[in-house]
Chains A and B, each alone.
Chain A
């Protein structure tokens, strides 16, 4: 985390360094920032440092006093653990598929809502609701009333007696996640659509540009920062998905729908293996950092951070 920040320095901001000002003034300038900065450093960095320490220990919570230093053994174990690889793959799959589909569905819905029609407010209210209900409630709701093999509505509509959660565990979980995050994408993209300058759209139609042409060469470029923002925020939350898996499939059957957050949770709170779950945590953080560095660069370009920095 701290490692990411320095690499982001854009060069433009280096001019902001205060020159020849008394020290007191510089600290007065920093004072409003310090509480937030200190709080965030303490609460987010200390647990992580402790995780790193634990990752070199062999420690089982059910055997008090069992903790001792084992070096990199936990890491070796994680890399030879085939379940870890399954969980990693599932995490990537869930994140990529859910973000993409939710984005496309959200875009479609946003386009439908970006017109004046009877009951637009009501439709928008309906559509944002899956984002507002508790994800835990959403997961339980899909598990029972939708996916249940005997009484579920899916089998009632499509016929048959498919046991969705055990035959298609990963897809079922993804359906629920997509359902929950599509409204989020829709809201953001709708905001983007509605902030389009009307005169440019009118000029395009005067110039005889068709709907597709206008969409491709005016709307999409305008939407790009909204799309980036929805992908980034959506990915941050979806990569950490836990509720849906915990409540709908418990990662199963076998490891079919286990993702990394759930697998680490399992090792820690059911296997009580502090050392190995910590090592997995560290590996996940390192992988996330690599991805996040690219994401942050994108974010900085999109939101021109140097703005307001004089």
Chain B
């Protein structure tokens, strides 16, 4: 074998190895998807069944069990809290980057330190406060908490995107006599828009998947999809096929959004460190 073909062979086998690892890694997930199309009797067999008559009946029974209101709650809480994060967070990120307030690093430190506060330390007062303010089992309690949960990270992320705006562009605009609103809409926002989108995506993922607050502060009325999954397993024992269908349906919206916006996901997570 020449070195050339050797190298080609090496590259091809590395590709095969990568594929095999990837498939093994997501195998639990692939298996879950497969299980969601099974009848209960086919879901747990020893040995596991690969050939079966696929059925949509599990998805139908999930809907019968009142899945849609939970889905609607999740969607509402996620969308509204993400919007508030942007509404409050964009000006804050601006004030901490392009027009920095005094003691910027202290403020940033404060925001990040709230992220490190173990959420469990606040759950009892939050429970009591929600109870007294009639916010227990109310979507607005979750909206407020998810906004507080995502805001610090969002401000950090958006700040790094604002810092990418070339100062020369802003100076040039100022020299031309542009006032702040015009500068914002013509110069700054076009540059930071992808970064804001990336930040919003991260907020959506963390709100949609949040479990601790949802489980402890909501029940049937304001429950989000993770709460639906819990009620499912405690009430009637194990129905693997139905559980798989529920898990798939509950995850699907964020899965699809995340797949489509993969590059935004990377930008958001790396806080704009990728140029």
Contacts and interface: CB of A to CB of B under 8 A. Distances in A.
Interface of A: 1-2, 4-6, 8-10, 13, 16-18, 26, 29-33, 35-37, 39-40, 43-44, 46-48, 50-51, 54, 109, 112-113, 115, 117-119, 123-138, 140-142, 144-146, 148, 150-151, 153, 156, 179, 182, 184, 187-188, 190-192, 194-195, 225-226, 229, 233, 236, 239-240, 242-243, 246-247, 260-261, 264-265, 268-269, 274, 277-278, 281-282, 284-285, 288-289, 291-292, 295-296, 299-300, 303, 305-310
B250 A36 contact: no
B265 A128 contact: yes
A229 B250 contact: no
A257 B101 CA distance: 46
Q: B-side binding surface: helix, strand, loop or mixed?
A: helix
A29 B95 contact: yes
Nearest to B240: A144
B61 to A, nearest CB: 17
B45 interface: yes
A115 B14 contact: yes
A127 B116 CA distance: 27
Which secondary structure dominates chain A's binding surface?
Answer: helix
Contacts of A47: 122, 125-126, 129
Given A229-B271, A242-B211, A296-B112, A16 B95 contact: no
A281 B121 contact: yes
B95 to A, nearest CB: 4
A8 B106 contact: yes
Interface stretch (B51-59, B171-179, B186-194, B254-262): B254-262
Contacts of A187: 265-266, 269
Contacts of B222: none
Contacts of B25: 109, 126-127, 130, 179, 182
B209 A135 contact: yes
Contacts of A6: 106
A49 B266 CA distance: 36
A151 B28 contact: no
14 contacts: A8-B105, A9-B105, A32-B99, A47-B129, A109-B22, A125-B259, A126-B25, A137-B246, A156-B46, A191-B273, A226-B270, A243-B212, A292-B116, A307-B163
